[in-house]
A and B are shown apart, each in its own frame.
Chain A
């Protein structure tokens, strides 16, 4: 039962990253590449009608985490208090930038909100990577010093950083060189993902340039991925043990690399959606490989006194989880139907939607 809900939760979160990921990526492209008003318009048109529906997946993921793994939800959300609240602020600030910009026709006003939108998108991409890094690295559950836990249960509190920025310190920070490295990977990957979405959904004059950018960034991404694989053992001494014990799990990294190599051919694709498909595959494969490598842990402990949080010691009661299956199956079938209808009605390019011109 725990495994069922774990798969459900990871699926919802992966869908969220793929969907809101292109929003963040488009924001980064907006910050660095869009020079003319026309280019900016094309980008906001491509994400405008979707962003708040995409954030619904985050709400759904949060709700399901609360329901299925309440102890993980409680321990992790209070422990990562500051970065989580800052993610909320960035999500709100980003929405404000996107929507407030068009309200006053004045260059200074527009510049301020353009930057607000772009920079918060960039920071969100960075923070989500850092968050993933924290989950892989683990935290000092129970805030143990010299073998004695300072708190009941697994509760902890992580400051934003510690002065050494080392992932091996006894009292860790949210940001260290390892988590920051994953943050950079996330920024690069989501920038490409956003570029692919813009290519997919618009006929912008930016598109040929974006295809070149995706190609160049893909070389960077490949280098980063290879580097991260070679330094992973510094964090987790035995990073591939799950894959060796369960060889079928190699399918996750295989999907990631399919996506990665598929993007090298982005310039020659006849169909504009293919690039987006491959960056989605990369995100899906990358995320699933990462969480699979620590399974069944969901938040590893860095001390020997308090045991790691797993899907088994953080789950809700059996009765609740079983009864949830009934309503979840009904709900997910309905969601699939809505999605099908929605994408059938709104297929194709978005240039003419006229978003923001109420």
Chain B
């Protein structure tokens, strides 16, 4: 049975990781495009309009990639996780169907209008189309995280005699205490990605002396959005999310923080160390005493439950994976704040555009928010294992009963090959748009 779910899990993990490269950029980017367009309407400086149009091209490419890699995500609930779909479809089908109906149509229709309809619509309506694209992409994130939140912290359901879940309270899906913190935390993560991409491309233009006018706008906007979002992702949204874990998934919390045993007089926060699962301890540990207790309960000596307090059957399945995912996310998040803070200081001293090492750092940092967002999701998902629906449905009980692991491996290999080509295509197309740069237009 373990072997049988291994390939199913690998396929889902691989396809969702690849898929989420694209939406995490588009959600944040749509907000920044709305900002550029608004700035143009207010200042009438045409360069802001050109900036908005340039980034919408990048958005369109990422949106198309998101669509083609998103269809397999939706299909896999049925193809590989049929039992899960049968049992919970009456509930999570609600939010997934709503996503299709409310956000994708909104996003795709208004994206077309934004890209090709500026002359026909006039500037105010063009701004509005951009705003609707933003609304659609954030609605999509909201509904996916509503689905995710139900799996992490199920609410508004009853379990029928045949084991199926039935919805009893529609509004509970949206007042789920897990939803808002996770949604805001995730959206801030997405804004970080787009900020680093915008700032990084701007730095690229400044360093290569191309499109310098736009380079400055991109670096400045990216740095300000980047600083605000890097702070908000930690406090308050990350803090809320972690407190939800302490409250509702204490074993997962202990696993991600690397707390193997409950400590007397307050728990230390681990900065670095390698989980040693045989001896149930961390090797080469560097830790600061009592800080974890303070961060969690605002009291230096509060007790944090270690993994030893929970039965092994409810321990997260992959504790080292969970621990590393979380620590990579937190480590990178700290670096983001540091870099964006330095860049902001240079911006106010009017030296940012000539401080080469910061520009190089911004360029070099482009991939890292992607890693931080991905490991953040791994933290949430690995923390939930061995459950598909927390405390109610185990992952082994969710797979398709008739699909053999040989068939799953076959399709996993196919996806790997195909996504390699898709990744190549994406890099070529993105490179081409970036290399060509924003087009400067004169307004009539």
A63 contacts B74, C-beta separation under 8 Å: yes
B79 → chain A, closest Cβ, in Å? 5
* Interface footprint category on A: 35 or more
**A78/B63 in contact, CB under 8 A:** no
Are B91 and A327 in contact, with the CB atoms below 8 A? no
- Interface residues as binary, B11-45 with A (CB distance below 8 Å gives 1, 0 otherwise): 00000000000000000000000000000000000
Partner of A66, one of B93, B167, B414: B93
Of A85, A103, A153, the most chain B CB neighbours within 10 A belong to: A85
* Closest-CB distance, B438 to chain A (whole angstroms): 12
- In the complex with contacts A77-B79, A81-B400, A155-B401, A92-B432 CB distance below 8 A: no
Q: Is A346 an interface residue (CB 8 A)?
A: yes
Name which residue of chain A comes closest to B410, CB basis. Answer: A82
Q: A56-B108, A78-B82 are in contact. Are A143 and B418 (CB under 8 A)?
A: no
Q: Are B78 and A151 in contact (CB under 8 A)?
A: no
With A and B bound together, what is the CA distance between A55 and B68 in angstroms? Answer: 8
In angstroms, how far is the closest chain B Cβ from the Cβ of A188?
26
A289 to B381: give the CA distance in the assembly, Å: 44
Q: Which of A67, A99, A339, A358 contacts B425 (CB 8 A)?
A: A99
Decide if A60 is an interface residue (CB 8 Å cutoff). yes
B56-111 residues with Cβ-Cβ distance < 8 A to A are 57, 63-64, 67-72, 74-75, 77-80, 82-83, 85-86, 88-94, 96-102, 104-106, 108-110
Asked if B91 contacts A320 (CB within 8 A), the reply is: yes
CB within 8 Å of B: which A19-69 residues: 49, 52-53, 55-56, 58-64, 66-68
Contact of A60 among B75, B100, B403, B433 (CB under 8 A): B100
Complex Cα–Cα for A67 and B105 (A): 18
Chain B residues 376 to 434 lying within 8 A of chain A, measured CB to CB, are: 400-404, 407, 411, 414-415, 418, 421-422, 425, 428-429, 432-433
Interface residue count for B (Cβ, 8 Å)? 68
**In the bound complex, CA of A76 to CA of B116 (Å):** 40
Chain B hits for A76, CB < 8 A: 78
- Interchain CB contact under 8 A, B167 and A62: no
Task: Contact check, B82 vs A319: say whether CB atoms are below 8 A apart.
Answer: no
Which chain B residues border A345 with CB–CB below 8 Å?
113, 116-117, 120-121
Interface: B280 (CB within 8 A): no
- Residue numbers in B under 8 Å from A328 (CB-CB): 101
Chain B binding site: helix, strand, loop or mixed by DSSP? helix
Q: Which residues of chain A are near B338, meaning CB under 8 Å? A: none
Contact of B75 among A68, A88, A151 (CB under 8 A): A88
Residues of B within 8 A of A291 (CB): none
In the complex formed, the residue of B with least CB distance to A158 is B402
CA distance A75 to B87 in the complex (A): 12
Interface residue stretch chosen among A238-246, A253-261, A330-338: A330-338
B106→A67 contact, CB < 8 A: no
**Once the chains are docked, how many angstroms separate the CA of A108 from the CA of B22?**
30
Known contacts A74-B78, A342-B113: A81-B71 contact under CB 8 Å? no
From the candidates A63, A319, A353, name the one contacting B166 in the complex (CB within 8 A): A319
The answer to whether A335 touches B101 (Cβ under 8 A) is: yes
Task: Evaluate contact between A85 and B79: CB separation under 8 angstroms.
Answer: yes
Residues of B within 8 A of A73 (CB): 77-78, 85, 89, 93
Verify B168–A319 contact, CB threshold 8 A: yes
Contact: A81 with B168, CB < 8 Å? no
A249 at the B interface (CB under 8 A): no
- A165 contacts the other chain (CB 8 A): no
Assess whether A92 is in contact with B96, with CB atoms less than 8 Å apart.
no
CA distance A334 to B98 in the complex (A): 13
CA distance A320 to B150 in the complex (A): 15
Which residues of chain B are near A70, meaning CB under 8 Å? 85-86, 88-90, 93
- Residues B116 and A49 in contact, CB atoms below 8 Å apart: yes
| Residue on B nearest A153 in the bound complex, by CB | B86
Mark contacts of A315-358 with chain B using CB atoms, 8 A cut-off: 1 yes-contact digit, 0 otherwise.
Answer: 01101100110011001101100110110011000000100001
CB proximity to B under 8 Å, residues A150-172: 151-153, 155-157
Given contacts A56-B67, A74-B86, 10 further A-B contacts (CB under 8 A): A55-B71, A70-B88, A74-B400, A93-B418, A99-B429, A317-B90, A317-B166, A319-B170, A331-B98, A345-B120
23 contacts between A and B (CB under 8 A): A52-B63, A53-B108, A60-B105, A63-B97, A66-B77, A67-B96, A70-B93, A74-B85, A74-B86, A77-B82, A77-B85, A81-B403, A89-B415, A96-B425, A103-B428, A155-B400, A157-B404, A320-B94, A327-B101, A334-B105, A335-B105, A358-B57, A358-B436
Interface residues of A (CB under 8 A from B): 49, 52-53, 55-56, 58-64, 66-68, 70-71, 73-79, 81-82, 84-85, 88-89, 91-93, 95-96, 99-100, 103, 143, 151-153, 155-157, 316-317, 319-320, 323-324, 327-328, 331-332, 334-335, 338-339, 341-342, 345-346, 353, 358
Binding site for A on B (CB under 8 A): 57, 63-64, 67-72, 74-75, 77-80, 82-83, 85-86, 88-94, 96-102, 104-106, 108-110, 112-113, 116-117, 120-121, 160, 166-168, 170, 400-404, 407, 411, 414-415, 418, 421-422, 425, 428-429, 432-433, 436
